[in-house]
Amino acid sequence: MEFILGTILLILMIAVGGIRGAKTFAAMYANIIILIVTVFLIACGVNAVAVTIIGCAVIGVVILFWINGVNIKTVTAFAAIATVLLLFAAVMLYIGSSSHIQGFADENTEEICWYSPDIGLDMRQVTLAMMLMGLIGAITDTAIAITSALFEVHENNPELSMSELFISGMNIGRDIIGTTTNTLLFAYIGEFMTLVIWFREYEYSLAEIINSKVFCQDFLQIVSSGAGCMTIIPIAALFMAYSLTHRKPPKDEESEETDDQENTETATVNDTAC
Name the domain count of the chain. Answer: 1
**Contact in structure between 62 and 27 (CB atoms under 8 Å):** yes
Stretch among 12-21, 28-37, 85-94, 111-120 having the lowest mean pLDDT = 111-120
Q: Does 51 fall in a domain?
A: no
- In a domain, residue 49? The reply is no
Instruction: Give the CA dihedral 169, 13, 190, 127, nearest 10 degrees.
Output: -70
Question: Greater confidence, 150 or 192?
Answer: 150
Q: Considering the domain boundaries, does residue 61 fall inside one? A: no
> pLDDT at position 255, please?
46
- Residues 215-270 pLDDT 10s: 777 777 778 878 888 889 999 999 999 998 887 665 544 444 445 555 555 544 45
Determine whether 20 is exposed, middle or buried from the number of CB atoms within 10 Å of its CB (0-12, 13-18, 19+).
Answer: middle
The fraction of the chain above a pLDDT of 90, given in percent, is: 11
Residues in the chain: 274
State the DSSP string of 172-202: HHHHHHHHHHHHHHHHHHHHHHHHHHHHHHT
The domain in which residue 140 lies consists of 70-109+117-260
Number of H helices, E strands in the chain: 10, 0
Cα 67 to chain centroid, rounded: 15
Q: Where are the alpha helices (DSSP H) in 100-212?
A: 109-112, 123-156, 162-201, 206-210
Amino acid 80: pLDDT: 92
> In the chain, pLDDT over 70 holds for what percent of residues?
76
Is 205 a domain residue? Answer: yes
The helix-helix angle for 48-61 and 72-99 (nearest 10°) equals 160
**Average pLDDT, rounded, for the chain:** 77
Considering the entire predicted model, what is its pTM?
A: 0.75
SS3 assignment, position 71? coil
Residue 47 within any structural domain of the chain: no
Does 11 reside within a domain?
no
Q: What pLDDT score was predicted for residue 235?
A: 93
